[in-house]
A and B are shown apart, each in its own frame.
Chain A
Amino acid sequence: MAEETKRTDDVSRRQFFTKLGLGSLSIAAVGTAAFAYQYLEPNVLFEPSPVVNAGKPDRYPLDSVTLDVNSGIYIIHSEEGYFSLSAVCTHLGCLTAWKPELGIIACPCHGSKFSVSDQAKLKPGEKIEGPAPKPLPWKRIWLNDDGDLLVDRSTDVPAMARDSFVRV
């Protein structure tokens, strides 16, 4: 039998098949993981649309703050125009309430208070006091072709920016 001179970079049959087996197994595992992740993320959600129709602007008189409990937004008509704040407290998700006697938005759960009007150096939505970490976000608001106010709850807009208001 001829003697084999084994070079140092020779791979034995066993090693080759082990590498081949483990390699294809890892490819299969990665592929399975990718497909599994895609499967678990739903493509269709049976949830209401984030876009809310708030009706005609003349429903909201000047200096009014209106809470829509079903969609969780405030429609506020100030001097600069109409804008929308999220009514969901940024602390732990409770629905806040408008306190007309105090002129602020307050959260019943842990006492966070948010400003509504543009005074005392606070923009609307910013926190006055309480455990909430962030101000109430402004939501995108615009007029559709029928003249209705529409609010997209999934889109935040910068506070007090020009396009954050609807001017009629």
Chain B
Amino acid sequence: MAKTIDQHFDSLRETRVWRSIFRSGTGSSTLKRALAIQQNVFLHLFSTKVRTRMLSVSATWYLGTLTLGTFLILVATGIPLMLYYHPSAPQAYADTKDLQFVVSSGLFLRNLHRWSAHAMVFLVFAHMFKVFYRGAYRPPREFNWVIGVVLLLLTLLLSYTGYLLPWDQLAYWAITVGSNIASAVPVIGGKIHFLLLGGNAVNANALLRFYVLHCMILPLTAIFFVAIHFWRIRKDGGLYSHGSEPAVVRAQAASRSATEIPGGEKEAQ
């Protein structure tokens, strides 16, 4: 009898080759679902089970997830854009124009990259405020908050370095203004300005430095800190754990004092 497609897939999943790659396979049993997380190199940061309350949209508005999403979109659009871009002045401007008019899907990629960048900056701020108002920075999560601030600064720097790359009037003067602010730092300001630009003015050296910062140094640093950020969330007990919000803390305190009966069960014998 002829097999259905599903049956073909099932027998494929029984083969040795498949089993050697995907060890535990799919399935809807609790075990299989737990293994899907635990045995996956990308996902085993998660615990196999989480509190149901973590799913609620109102808890986080999924802002952290969305920020990660924009970052992934930026990497996925940024790398193809690198294939048609020469980081030399004024070739960079011609390349940006080429991307918009000549390269297939170039305009779309550039647009998506730009709007995702704006979205990421906005979402990162929104995420920070949401975490603050939820009180999710309280001990033991203090240092993760600091990591978050570092990630905020990295996001702003990534956006700033990327801003120069089209080498148009908007880019050139925005970066000139910005780097002149950096030179306002007392004592070392001039040095910072010189090192940042690789010179005294925004020229070919500056473009190349900003390109390397934008495409290599800052993304790697960001990924490094994102990894720490996620790790600490997991180690601190995951999202929405007990004792992480003032409302819960107060409710617990209230219930404790309410059920305390003198000489009762809660006391030791």
Contact = CB atoms under 8 A, between A and B. Distances in A.
Touching chains A and B, CB distance < 8 Å: yes
Contacts of A43: 102-104
Contacts of A1: none
Contacts of B245: none
Interface stretch (A32-40, A56-64, A107-115, A127-135): A32-40
B102 A39 contact: no
Interface in A17-69: 35-36, 38-44
B33 to A, nearest CB: 15
B213 interface: no
A43 B106 CA distance: 11
B104 A39 contact: yes
Nearest to B6: A15
A40 B83 contact: yes
Interface residues of B, number: 10
Nearest to A43: B102
A42 B103 contact: yes
B102 A38 contact: no
- Chain A interface, DSSP helix/strand/loop, else mixed: helix
Nearest to B84: A42
Contacts of A39: 80, 103-106, 109
B98 interface: yes
Nearest to B83: A40
A32 to B, nearest CB: 10
Interface string A61-79: 0000000000000000000
Contacts of B109: 39
A105 B98 CA distance: 42
Interface of A: 35-36, 38-44
What 8 A-B pairs come out closest when comparing CB atoms?
Answer: A38-B104, A39-B105, A44-B102, A39-B104, A35-B105, A43-B102, A39-B80, A43-B104
